[in-house]
Amino acid sequence: MVPKVFKSFKPGILGTTVLFLCATGFSGLGSWQLERSAGKAALEKQFQSAALVPKQFLEDNMSRFSRIEVRGHYDTVHHILLDNQTLNGRTGVHVFTPFHTLEGITILVNRGWLPMDADRRSLPDVPTTPNKTILRGILNHAPVPGRTLGEADQLDRNQWPQLVTYLNIEDVASVLETPLNGQIIQLLKSEQDGFEGRSWKPVFLSSDRHLGYAVQWYAFAILSIGLWIIVGVKTNGKSNE
């Protein structure tokens, strides 16, 4: 006679506990990524719609990503170089230059990316015209690091340009002894007074990227449940005459 095989589902306590914690954790991470995806999607939508509303001058409480067209002149001396910025695999800095508007407002302008030597004592030149100009750009928050390691840079009002690891507008305003607008302007790619890397995006990671991460985490949760079922199945061979 051919032996019959009977399978019973008897998951162990340890395996159940471990795989339950894994599935719960992976599901939580998937939900977190879905929330981040929704938030990034809202920012991307705001970024696209703001392109239709150019502003001719700075106003109080202007929304993020507003398109700006202001008249004034650049500060030709006091440049802030934000370190650890990469472009096409190259290391460099983002150049932030104060811009003085005809209305008497001073705001930092991200003029784009410049390459940086490995020797941080050798800073790149920042060519800047002193002439009055029309500046066109995107209003945005100052860049915020994902993690802050160590204390903020100590700025020296007698040394320019200055290399910083984190951009703190209040610290820059203090060393300049000039009030600064709380946001920054990202100079449009079409403008002549900027450098490389001005294909601005509303977010570093897109909503689609976070959605992809969410799918991966949920897949891990399903895999954990599948492993729990497999481990819990006990196979017992019994022969019947």
What's the pLDDT tens digit per position in 74-122? 999 999 999 999 999 999 999 999 999 999 999 999 999 999 988 777 8
Confidence of residue 2 (pLDDT cuts 50, 70, 90): low
pTM, 2 dp: 0.74
Q: So what's the pLDDT on residue 167?
A: 92
Nearest to 115, CA basis, from 194, 196, 187: 196
Euclidean distance between CA atoms 142 and 225, whole angstroms: 43
pLDDT tens, residue by residue, 160-207: 999 999 999 999 999 999 999 999 999 999 999 999 999 988 766 667
pLDDT tens, residue by residue, 44-75: 777 777 766 667 778 767 888 888 899 999 99
Nearest to 184, CA basis, from 201, 196, 197, 168: 168
Q: So what's the pLDDT on residue 91?
A: 92
Q: So what's the pLDDT on residue 150?
A: 56
Euclidean distance between CA atoms 57 and 52, whole angstroms: 15
Q: So what's the pLDDT on residue 237?
A: 45
Give the end-to-end CA distance of the chain in Å, rounded to a whole number: 6
Euclidean distance between CA atoms 16 and 18, whole angstroms: 6
- Quick one: average pLDDT of 1-10? 59
pLDDT, averaged across the chain: 84
Q: So what's the pLDDT on residue 147?
A: 55
pLDDT tens, residue by residue, 25-48: 988 898 888 888 887 787 777 777
At residue 137, does pLDDT exceed 50? yes
Q: So what's the pLDDT on residue 114?
A: 96
Contact by Cβ (8 Å): 173, 180: yes
Higher pLDDT, 16 or 66: 66
Residues 6+ apart with CB under 8 A from 114: 81, 92, 93, 95, 124, 126, 195, 196
All structural domains of the chain with their residue ranges: 4-42+206-238, 66-143+156-187
Q: So what's the pLDDT on residue 240?
A: 43
Q: So what's the pLDDT on residue 120?
A: 78
